[in-house]
Amino acid sequence: MKANSNFNNWLITEAIIDWQGHGMEELMDALMDPNLRGIRFEELRSMAAPYGVEVVRYDQFMRELPEENRESAPPPNAPFFALINPETERPRIVINVPMLFARERKEIAKMLKHELIHLGQLNRRPVGMSVGGMDVSDQGEYLSNKDETMAFAHSVVDDLISMGARTVEEGVRMLPTSRMWQWIKDNASEAALKRYRKYVYFYLKLELEGEA
């Protein structure tokens, strides 16, 4: 049995959202540049501003967060995280460390791709509708959210590619070795895991073969 045959039951017609198409490919290349020295907050903000990506410190993020959402916000010791700003509908990176080296920038690029998928979901919806799971404290509910399944599936594929997957078959075979996949598998519902497997397969095809 071929490695990807286990996915056949989930290969129904459903378009995935590509993170590309928002004009941020050059920013991603810059973030992923292994030769770039460590950069500080102001440098990252200057890099991101021409692409409409907001870069803020944690205290500004908390000041601007609605009161009802503060309890479920990431903790102040989180080094960085990303979200879609509901007011501006732009990707926002929240930084809580003094310096960003290659490893940190790689993680930020992955997070930014995740948010660009959410932005694509948002662009397909009526004005005023939100996307994604808002309460990250309930990991089961958060990871089972339909918007998050698509965005996190791409994050898993990013992991698989960084681990050496060069074909769809290799990516599928390596899936159990992904720490992010294990986290998802331990927390998401069975119905959500079916969607995850489908989206992982499609994103592997998109990233490695140029088609979904």
pLDDT of the residue at 191? 96
What are the counts of helices (DSSP H) followed by strands (DSSP E) for the chain? Answer: 9, 3
Domain boundaries, the chain: 3-17+131-209, 25-102
Report pTM: 0.87
DSSP code of residue 92: E
Strands in 90-95's sheet, in edge-to-edge order, are 54-57, 90-95, 80-85
DSSP code of residue 162: H
H helix runs in 5-132, sequence order: 25-32, 41-48, 58-64, 102-123
Phi-psi sector, 166: left (phi>0), alpha (psi -120 to 50), beta: alpha
- The predicted-structure confidence for 138-188, as pLDDT tens digits, reads as follows 899 999 999 999 999 999 999 999 999 999 999 999 999 999 999 999 999
pLDDT higher than 70, residue 5: no
pLDDT higher than 80, residue 19: yes
- The predicted-structure confidence for 32-41, as pLDDT tens digits, reads as follows 998 889 999 9
DSSP code of residue 165: -
d(Cα 124, Cα 210) in Å, to the nearest integer? 22
- The predicted-structure confidence for 63-102, as pLDDT tens digits, reads as follows 999 888 888 888 989 999 999 998 899 999 999 999 999 9
Q: Which two tokens stand for residue 175?
A: 């899936």
pLDDT band at 128 (very low <50, low <70, confident <90, very high): low
